[in-house]
Amino acid sequence: METLLDWIAAVPDVIWSGVIASVITLGGVMLSNWSNTRRLVRQLGHDANEKQKDRNAVLRREVYLTAVEEFVRASHKMGTLSQIDPTKSNFSEGFQDFFVVAAKLQLVSNASTARLVGELVTTYGEVLLEMIGIVQPIHDVQADIAIADEAYARYVEESRRVLTAITQFRESARTESAVYEALQRSFEFSQEQANKHSQARLTLRDQQTAMHFELTKSLMPILKRIAEVQAPVMVAIRQELDLDGDVGDFRRQAADNILRMDSAMNAAVQKMEQANN
């Protein structure tokens, strides 16, 4: 031990100063590297979080904007349900995109917004079930009109065929009275049936017009009901998108729009009633 101490004591102070300085420098470098590493790890973690937030924001924005587009389309399609042929397409087929985007919206939105969207989806489901009963008589009349159209066209074509046969009979100077009378009876029957189905078609179209009028009267309160449920969803989406403007003012504007739409609907119904009287 004394030998070691003697050896250390024999080392010049200048050398020890250099060693100590080197150790201090090395320690400073290690401390600096450790601090830089921690700062880099934190920075990378922060950047990753920010990028994830940006990706989520972009995803939510796309879903929100798509949802707004589908809300508009769904409201428009509600007014065209009577024109759908139930034998060729599903009654609710035009609303599939709406229900899909609503499910996406509920997945990425806040809990409060998701509840509002759920209420809107439920309202649309209820309305569609109600509309089935409302438009079914119109679809039945449309089917009857199609049958009358087909029968009318068939008997008109038959009348033309028989008339051509009568013309040929006369031009060929034939004298078989029984044949001529049979052709004449066939022509008169075809004409009678064509007139019958033509009149039936006109009557059915009058019924269809009256039914469309009643449908319009029924549809207006339904659209108002949808608008009242949809307005809070639009406000919630606007809040989540952090759009500029007063949300309260937007809510009041939506309520005013509903009142204006209700007034316009009532005026339209009155005009249609006056036109039918």
pLDDT for residue 48 is more than 50: no
* Mean pLDDT estimate for the chain: 76
pLDDT for residue 47 is more than 50: no
Task: Residue 66: give the domain boundaries.
Answer: 2-276
pTM > 0.95: no
pLDDT at 49: 53
Confidence of residue 233 (pLDDT cuts 50, 70, 90): confident
Place of tokens 């087929």: 93
pLDDT one-digit tens code per residue, 153-192: 999 999 999 889 888 888 887 778 888 888 889 989 999 9
Confidence of residue 211 (pLDDT cuts 50, 70, 90): confident
The mean per-residue pLDDT over the stretch 62-80 comes to 81
Q: CA 241, CA 61: separation in Å to the nearest integer?
A: 7
Least confident residue range of 57-61, 64-68, 135-139: 57-61
pLDDT at 153: 93
45 Cα distance to chain centroid: 39
High-pLDDT (> 90) share of the chain, %: 14
pLDDT at 157: 93
21 CB-near residues (< 8 Å, 6+ apart): none
pLDDT for residue 3 is more than 50: yes
pLDDT at 38: 64
- The structural domain count of the chain equals 1
pLDDT at 264: 76
High-pLDDT (> 70) share of the chain, %: 68
pLDDT for residue 19 is more than 60: no
pLDDT at 35: 60
pLDDT at 171: 82
For residues 213-250, b (16+ Cβ closer than 10 Å) or e, as one string?
A: eebeeebbebbeebbebbbbbbbbbbebeeeeeeeeeb
DSSP state of 241: T
pLDDT for residue 212 is more than 60: yes
pLDDT for residue 26 is more than 50: yes
Can you list the pairs that 66-70 forms with residues at least 24 positions away whose Cβ atoms lie under 8 Å?
66/101, 66/104, 67/101, 67/102, 67/104, 67/105, 67/117, 67/237, 68/234, 68/237, 70/97, 70/98, 70/101, 70/102
pLDDT at 143: 87
Least Cα distance to 109 among 232, 237, 227 occurs for: 237
pLDDT one-digit tens code per residue, 99-156: 888 888 888 888 888 899 899 999 988 888 888 888 888 888 888 998 999 999 999 9
pLDDT at 75: 79
